[in-house]
């Protein structure tokens, strides 16, 4: 019982540190097109596209098109570049100097 409780606590803790990178969509049989959930644009089944929220989509799923940096040093910050669908990580006192970070999640 102790091992089961420990495993349950570990699983719950790992969920707090994860980010969902994809979500799935359903089509009705016979559908030839689907609608992007963000931009409301229509796309043919079998096609793929990137929407205005930096999600790479098909008619069956949308997934983040970027990684989110985690574990930044205290003197660094991140800023999302929506045009290039990526985070820029830089020194707080010098935006021209990039910063290392521990890891990234997503994509």
Tell me the pLDDT of the chain (107 aa) as tens digits.
Answer: 554 333 333 333 333 334 458 999 999 999 999 999 999 999 999 999 999 999 999 999 999 999 999 999 999 999 999 999 999 999 999 999 999 888 888 87
Are 46 and 5 spatial neighbours (Cβ–Cβ below 8 Å)?
no
The third-level CATH classification (topology) of the domain covering 20-64 is Complement Module; domain 1 (2.10.70)
Q: What is the pLDDT of residue 99?
A: 92
Q: Where in the chain is the domain with CATH 2.10.70?
A: 20-64
pTM (2 d.p.): 0.70
In 10 A of CB 89, how many CB atoms?
Answer: 17
Q: Where in the chain is the domain with CATH 2.20.25.590?
A: 67-106
Q: How many Cα atoms are found within 13 Å in the side-chain-facing hemisphere of 61?
A: 9
CA distances from 83 to 1, 28, 59, 66 (A): 51, 33, 23, 12
Q: What is the pLDDT of residue 69?
A: 94
Rounded Cα gap, residues 11 and 88, in angstroms: 31
The third-level CATH classification (topology) of the domain covering 67-106 is N-terminal domain of TfIIb (2.20.25)
Q: What is the pLDDT of residue 41?
A: 98
């Amino acid at each position: 019982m102790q091992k089961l409780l420990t495993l349950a606590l570990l699983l719950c803790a790992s969920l707090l540190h994860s980010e969902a990178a994809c979500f799935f969509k359903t089509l009705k049989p016979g559908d030839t097109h689907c609608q992007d959930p963000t931009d409301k644009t229509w796309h043919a089944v079998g096609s793929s596209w990137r929407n205005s929220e930096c999600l790479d989509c098909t008619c069956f799923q949308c997934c983040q098109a970027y990684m989110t940096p985690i574990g930044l040093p205290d003197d660094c910050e991140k800023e999302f570049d929506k045009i290039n669908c990526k985070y820029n990580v830089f020194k707080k006192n010098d935006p021209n100097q990039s910063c290392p970070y521990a890891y990234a999640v997503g994509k």
